[in-house]
Every structure is written in structure tokens, then in C-alpha cells.
Amino acid sequence: MAQPQTPSFARRMLSAGGTAVKFSWNGIKFLPWLPTLVILVLLLFAIPILLSYSALTRETIVAEVIMSPMQSDDKGTYIEIEFTPYQLKSAWETAISGDASPSDIAPGSTLEYKVYGDTVAIRGPLIALHQGWRILNFDNIFKLALIEGEYRVPNANRNAEGSEFPINGGFDEFWWNVNAQEATFPYNTLIKRVTFSGDEEPGFVGAFRKRYHIVITSNSITWNFIENVSG
């Protein structure tokens, strides 16, 4: 004898006044695409963050220096360098200062200097922009203006004077005016800080010369060691 069949869940729901629920396979079919969707969403948030970080930490190579070991003569300790500028000033520098006069140094040309001192510095004015402008891909405004030697070793070369070589027009009056007005409107809408920057690189002894890049960072003009150079 045939056994009575148990009503299905859907039919029991209907007999009880409920609504039958049909199970759909569409959700299961979508599951293989879920990891891809998650990755796309993460990239949507990550890419702007990475671009902002890159803009805020970007370094611009503006010159190359090859430094020889320290030597001495009757004037004191000196360091011979070969200076090759790639970019003497930013495009914004000319735009805001109105100084379109030609530089005394051509980008790509190499000049030799005998710098008295036991350190060498490449200095210049630097306008650090607010971070919002950096994120929008505007670089800090700079100008290479001075090659300078200083005696920093205590009790050595006590009576000697370091060298100064103004380049690219030196520190002209425009920069001192900007420095004095950086906190006033409209300068403060663009400028975070005005500095007269330039890290010093100490001299050395040895058989090799050293090659450096001069770079513009978010807040300074500094040196990056590249390699030893023979000869």
C-alpha cells in the first residue's frame, strides 16, 4: 500500500497562511566574482592613498656632484668638486619671481670648483607648499643659489675661511621678500614654509672620489650618495 506523502515545506506554509519562498541560484552563481569585487573596492580606496603618499614623499634630482678627497695647501683644507646641474630652479620660481634672465650656468654643463672647507653645501631658497598642493601634483619651489665650504672640524684650520660661490644669480631680493611675507595673505594660502636650505656633506680621505645626487625633498635640499668613482 502506498504511504501518504508528507506535504512539502512550501505547501505547509501555504496551508498555514504563509508565503512560499523560492530558493534562487543567482546568489551562488555570483559568488566566484566576489573576490574580484572586493579587490576592485580595495583598489578604489588604495590608489588615491598611494598617489597622495607618492606626491608627499617625492624627491626630485636637480644636480650631480663628484667630490674628491680632502687636500691641503697654504690656505687650508680644500675639496675639489665637479658640479653638474640638471635643473637650477623650478618652473614656478620663474613664474612667481618674474626673473626670466638667463642663468650663468647651463643645465647639463659641468663646472669644477676648489672649495676651501672640510664640508661642502649646495644651498638655495626653498618654498615648501602646503600638502594639499603637493597632493594635486604641485612641486615645492626652489632655486640652487650657492656652493659653500665651511670648516666644521674643531681646532682645525682655525684661521682659514671657507669658500662661497654664488650661482644662478645667488640669493636675490625677491626671496627675502617672500620670506618676510610667508605668513600673510595670499602667500599663506600656498606656502607652508620658506627656508634657505642646503645640507652639508663632510669631506673624506681615501683613494676614491664619490658621486652624489642633489635632491629636492619635501622640506630640504640634500645629498644622496650614489657610488665611489675611481680615478
**Residue 79 sits in the same domain as residue 192:** yes
- pLDDT over threshold 60, residue 115: yes
How confident is the model at residue 48, as a pLDDT?
61
DSSP summary character for residue 16? T
**Can you say whether residue 199 is alpha, beta or left, with left for phi > 0 and alpha for psi between -120 and 50 degrees?**
beta
**Residue 97 sits in the same domain as residue 151:** yes
How confident is the model at residue 57, as a pLDDT?
63
Q: Which residue, among 194, 201, 191, has the nearest Cα to 223 in the 3D structure?
A: 201
How confident is the model at residue 170, as a pLDDT?
85
Q: Which of 13-27, 41-55, 95-109, 212-226 has the highest mean pLDDT?
A: 212-226
**Residue 33 sits in the same domain as residue 128:** no
Q: Which residue, among 131, 81, 130, has the nearest Cα to 110 in the 3D structure?
A: 81
**Residue 65 sits in the same domain as residue 173:** yes
Is 79 domain-assigned? Answer: yes
CA gap 198, 221 in Å, rounded: 5
DSSP calls for 130-191: PHHHHHTTPPPEEB--EEEEE--STTSSTT----EEE-TT-S-HHHHHHHHHTTSTTGGGTE
The total number of structural domains in the chain stands at 2
- pLDDT over threshold 90, residue 10: no
pLDDT tens track for 127-162: 888 777 767 767 788 889 999 999 998 877 767 889
Is 189 domain-assigned? Answer: yes
Residues paired with residue 73 on neighbouring β-strands, in sequence order: 76
Amino acid at 196: F
**Residue 205 sits in the same domain as residue 152:** yes
How confident is the model at residue 181, as a pLDDT?
85
pLDDT tens track for 217-231: 888 899 999 999 986
pLDDT tens track for 163-175: 999 998 888 777 8
Share of the chain above pLDDT 70, in %: 70
Query: What CA–CA distances, in Å, run from 151 to 69, 71, 72, 162, 220?
Result: 15, 13, 13, 6, 21
Pair 128, 112: CB distance under 8 Å: no
Q: What is the pTM of this model?
A: 0.71
Is 13 domain-assigned? Answer: no
- pLDDT over threshold 50, residue 7: yes
Give 51's pLDDT tier (boundaries 50, 70, 90).
low
How confident is the model at residue 228, as a pLDDT?
96
pLDDT tens track for 69-114: 999 999 999 999 999 999 877 655 555 555 544 566 778 899 999 9
Is 66 domain-assigned? Answer: yes
**Residue 34 sits in the same domain as residue 142:** no
Pair 190, 126: CB distance under 8 Å: no
**Residue 127 sits in the same domain as residue 96:** yes
Is 11 domain-assigned? Answer: no
How confident is the model at residue 100, as a pLDDT?
46
- Average pLDDT score over residue span 202-213: 95
Is 9 domain-assigned? Answer: no
**Residue 117 sits in the same domain as residue 37:** no
**Residue 37 sits in the same domain as residue 141:** no
- Average pLDDT score over residue span 29-58: 66
How confident is the model at residue 22, as a pLDDT?
54
Amino acid at 155: N
Range of the domain at 31: 24-57
**Residue 49 sits in the same domain as residue 128:** no
Backbone angles phi and psi of 96, in degrees to 5: -90, -25
Which residue has 631658497 as its cell numbers?
125
Q: Which residue, among 201, 175, 49, has the nearest Cα to 122 in the 3D structure?
A: 201
**Residue 175 sits in the same domain as residue 74:** yes
Longest dimension (CA), the chain: 125
Is 2 domain-assigned? Answer: no
How confident is the model at residue 14, as a pLDDT?
45
Local structure of 102: helix, strand or coil: coil
